[in-house]
Structure 1
């Protein structure tokens, strides 16, 4: 069995996974964000409670440098900058494999969600910001470090959107650039857009709810939001040949929003199809644990091949 973790700034979630990628009963404890000894102790206790383990697979928000294995994880200071797999392996006495949470979602969707039966799957995250992961032939492309699939970064956001065209500010991005899709494409981006267009600060959920209820200002914001994403997503699909883009993150909870985005993107791609391509994720409530389980199983199979 493999012990799987989905680790965030507020909670460590853990479950044991079997060889077919199924996960068992969920355990949850608070994340010790400032004390690495307490962090490893919490993980060790969860591993012990689950019984004998062949390894530890972790889904976590952050990116891992492919050259030295150091993680960048702003919301858990005690692990930020560490060679986390090596440090945890030494502390826990087990092999440790780490996967970025967006990659984990993509792998979960390819193996157990909307991507089943599709050769090329791009897991699309529309959460606080935007992100993604690419799976081809059941294998995660670019490794689990989290740098591949980051379609949200790069100064390519359009300066005008909507009908008639509306000027869109070049918002500064946390990556150090301005005009990244991450600044307009997720929940915070939707809030920025609504504030810039209408001078009103609304939570993204309120904006979506107002749009679904027929509010004209919210309709204008959603139209610009979809317009800003349709071109980049169309190019992504044309480049990768992905036949399905399951969506995770908070904005995926609005089926009408995802359907509208799908319709706009399908009208802009080379391949013409009546079947939806951008769809809500279907891998279940714990895609982080499911993706980690599949990664761990793949690593074990490779080690014993």
Structure 2
């Protein structure tokens, strides 16, 4: 038995897993953001209600350095720059395993979803921002510092895109760099591009709806964004050798968007493919909890 937790900046969701495919929900509670004692106690309360001694596997926003165990998590300040797994183990007297939520997503898709049967899977997140995770032979590749798969950051966004081409400024990124893919990708990037191109403030959902309804301005925004995303994603695929790229997050659920991105990426990679490479994620219900369960049973229950 594994206690599975999916922790974000607004809430902690829990489940008891007797196998990766058998999860019983434990509900959801708010995430304590500024008090580590309250954060640990919230986890203790949820875990104790399910089982007194079962190990805990956590999918969490933030990046864990595999060498030091230190987590970088700006949106939950009370755990930022802590050795979170060790600190929780000392408090809760249970084994604790922690994985980045994008890595957990990639693992779910590799084991149970669109990546089943593929040796190398790159799970791309196009949600509020841009993220990703790499799974090879069923194991998460964390890399130095835990940053493997983070294709959203690094100053690689093009400065000209679309048909016909339009000049795109190098927008500042929350990571401190300028011109990251995160600044022009996913939901916030779509909104930023739409305002830059047309002077219109609109949520990404409205832009997508307008595009699907035939709006020319929205179509231009999508065209530019696809062009900006396709190059960096193609580079990742060439380097990693991924044979499938499941896409999660809000834009991953917009099939026409993913179809356009897939076609643009396949034109840019070295390998020639006649079948889809970039595809919508298959397991869209609680991927964080399912990913924690898979990780827990492969490592904690061994």
TM above 0.5, one fold?
Answer: yes
For residue 106 of structure 1, give the secondary structure of its aligned residue in structure 2: helix
Q: Does 1:66 align with 2:66?
A: yes
**2: distance between equivalents of 1:236 and 1:30?**
35
For residue 149 of structure 2, give the secondary structure of its aligned residue in structure 1: coil
**2: distance between equivalents of 1:153 and 1:267?**
23
Q: When the two structures are superposed, what TM-score results if normalisation uses the length of structure 2? A: 0.95
Deviations 1:20-72 (A, max 9, x none): 45322242111122222221111111111112443111111111233432212
Find the counterpart in structure 1 of residue 224 from structure 2.
224
Find the counterpart in structure 1 of residue 298 from structure 2.
298
Does the Cα contact within 8 Å between 1:102 and 1:131 map onto a contact in 2? Answer: yes
Find the counterpart in structure 2 of residue 147 from structure 1.
147
Name the CA shift for 1:202/1:22 in 2 (closer, same or farther; >3 Å): same
Find the counterpart in structure 1 of residue 196 from structure 2.
196
Does the Cα contact within 8 Å between 1:62 and 1:146 map onto a contact in 2? Answer: no
Any residues of structure 2 matched to 1:260-271 within 5 Å, and which?
A: 260-271=260-271
Name the CA shift for 1:20/1:66 in 2 (closer, same or farther; >3 Å): closer
Find the counterpart in structure 2 of residue 115 from structure 1.
115
Gaps of 5+ in 1: none
**1: distance between equivalents of 2:209 and 2:203?**
10
For residue 285 of structure 2, give the secondary structure of its aligned residue in structure 1: coil
Aligned-residue offset at 1:146: 4.1
Deviations 1:227-253 (A, max 9, x none): 011111112212222111111111112
**1: distance between equivalents of 2:53 and 2:279?**
35
Does the Cα contact within 8 Å between 1:99 and 1:144 map onto a contact in 2? Answer: no
**2: distance between equivalents of 1:150 and 1:25?**
30
Deviations 1:177-215 (A, max 9, x none): 111111101211111111111111111111111111111
Does the Cα contact within 8 Å between 1:103 and 1:146 map onto a contact in 2? Answer: no
For residue 265 of structure 1, give the secondary structure of its aligned residue in structure 2: helix
**2: distance between equivalents of 1:145 and 1:107?**
19
Larger mean CA deviation between 260-269 and 116-125 belongs to: 260-269
Does the Cα contact within 8 Å between 1:14 and 1:27 map onto a contact in 2? Answer: yes
**2: distance between equivalents of 1:130 and 1:195?**
19
Find the counterpart in structure 1 of residue 176 from structure 2.
176
Find the counterpart in structure 1 of residue 208 from structure 2.
208
Q: Does 1:258 align with 2:255?
A: no
RMSD over equivalenced CA pairs, Å: 1.6
Find the counterpart in structure 2 of residue 18 from structure 1.
18
Larger mean CA deviation between 236-245 and 136-145 belongs to: 136-145
For residue 23 of structure 1, give the secondary structure of its aligned residue in structure 2: strand
For residue 24 of structure 1, give the secondary structure of its aligned residue in structure 2: strand
Find the counterpart in structure 1 of residue 30 from structure 2.
30
For residue 44 of structure 1, give the secondary structure of its aligned residue in structure 2: helix
**1: distance between equivalents of 2:277 and 2:65?**
31
Does the Cα contact within 8 Å between 1:186 and 1:251 map onto a contact in 2? Answer: yes
